[in-house]
Amino acid sequence: MIGWLIIFCEIGFWVFVLAGLLVRYVLKKKKLGTLLLICTPIVDIILLIATVLDLKNGAIATTVHGLSAIYIGVSVAFGHQIIKWADRHFAYKYGNGEKPIKKKKFGREHARQERLGWFRHFVSWLIGGALLAVMIYSINNPSQTQALFNTLRLWTMILVIDFIISFSYTLFPKKGENSYLS
């Protein structure tokens, strides 16, 4: 059940984002569009409540329960950035906004973008990891929460790998077409 709820929450997030942007730029109702965009965290709250209730009712924690914590952490850390990106593109296409600037794919600016992306990943790991820790601690039964611990351990390894890759661009920046260290 939680797995399907994660999928529905992801769909719900994008429904609120697209509806908010369409209402804002196509229907020209800025306040209603903003209200719809503000509603995106509702899907996180629904998922959090459902996960807690499922575990409180005695369900053995699975990797899917762990994914709900990851989803919430990623949504909090990256959600605003995703909405801003979509808003810039909608404003350009439907609202006479400026053309979005493409991110650099080389040089120091690219290295900075990679580091910032890792810091967002770290924030999502802190939030999701805290949720996983609270679930593990509140259930207080290692055999019931082993999957949550394994999820946290795997995510930590992924975070370390992301750190190595993201910060490698600082030491070894990608070279641009016409410059050595743009």
pLDDT by residue (tens digit) across 128-176? 999 999 999 988 888 889 999 999 999 999 999 999 999 999 998 888 7
- Tell me the pLDDT of the chain averaged across its residues: 90
| Identity of the amino acid at 95 | G
Q: Is 106 left (phi over 0), alpha (psi -120 to 50) or beta?
A: beta
In the numeric block, the tokens 């990679």 are attached to 114
> What's the confidence (pLDDT) of residue 52?
85
pLDDT band (50, 70, 90) for residue 125: very high
Residue 85, pLDDT above cutoff 60 = yes
| Identity of the amino acid at 126 | L
- DSSP H or E segment with residue 61: none
* In contact, 160 and 113? CB cutoff 8 Å: no
Residue 55, pLDDT above cutoff 90 = no
CA 67 to chain centroid, in Å, comes to 12
Residue 181, pLDDT above cutoff 50 = no
- Spatial distance between the Cα atoms of 44 and 35, rounded to a whole number of angstroms: 16
The pTM of the full predicted model, rounded to 2 decimals, is: 0.85
Mean pLDDT of 34-51: 91
The angle subtended at Cα 156 by Cα 69 and Cα 10, nearest 5°, is: 30
> What's the confidence (pLDDT) of residue 178?
54
